[in-house]
Amino acid sequence: MRVSFIGSGAVTEFSIYNSQDLPAVLAAIAKLDLDKPWRVEIEPWRKKRSGRQNAYYWKCLEIIANETGDDKDSLHTYFRRKFLSPVEKAVMGQTTLCLRSTTDLNTAEFAEYMDRIIAEVGPFGIAIPSPEEMAA
C-alpha cells in the first residue's frame, strides 16, 4: 500500500508493506499542520514498470519512428499525451497539470499503455512484434 500526503506544494509518500511500517505513517499524520488543507491518498502498492517493458517500449517507438519519419522522443510525448491522464503537480508553489511519466506506471498499466499504442499504429500498417518475437 502506498500513502501520500499532498499539501502546500510538498508530497510525502510512504510504502506500507506490513504492520511495522504503520507507526511512521501515523507519526507523519500526527505532525501535519491542520491549519492547512491536506489531501491524503491511499492506494495499493503495485510494482513499477519493468526495465524489460521500458526497453521493449523504446524498441517499439524505434519501429514506429522508422515507419512514420517521426523521432522517438516526439512519439513518446504524443503517446503520453494521448493515452495517459495528466497528473496534478506542485510547481513553483502552484498546482498545475503535467504529463504523466511512463516511469509512474505499474506493470499492468504499462502493458495497457503498450496495447493502446499497438492498436493505434495497426491501421497505419505498422506491425509491432511481441516482446518474445523481438527478443528472438
Task: Parse the chain into domains and list their residue ranges.
Answer: 2-43, 51-135
pLDDT at 2 over 70: no
Q: Rounded mean pLDDT of 45-68?
A: 88
pLDDT at 81 over 80: yes
pLDDT at 45 over 60: yes
Mapping DSSP onto H, E and C, the string for 37-85 reads: CCEEEEECCCCECCHHHHHHHHHHHHHHHHHHCCCHHHHHHHHHHHHCC
- In this structure, what are the phi and psi dihedrals at residue 104, rounded to the nearest 5 degrees? -85, -10
* C-alpha span between 25 and 105 (Å, rounded): 23
Cα atoms in the Cβ-side hemisphere of radius 13 Å centred on 108: 4
CATH number of 51-135: 1.10.3790.10
Looking at residue 17, what is its pLDDT?
A: 78
pLDDT at 135 over 90: no
* C-alpha span between 82 and 79 (Å, rounded): 5
Q: Rounded mean pLDDT of 46-54?
A: 77
Contact status, residue 10 vs residue 90, Cβ threshold 8 Å: yes
Looking at residue 1, what is its pLDDT?
A: 54
DSSP single-letter state for residue 35: T
Looking at residue 6, what is its pLDDT?
A: 57
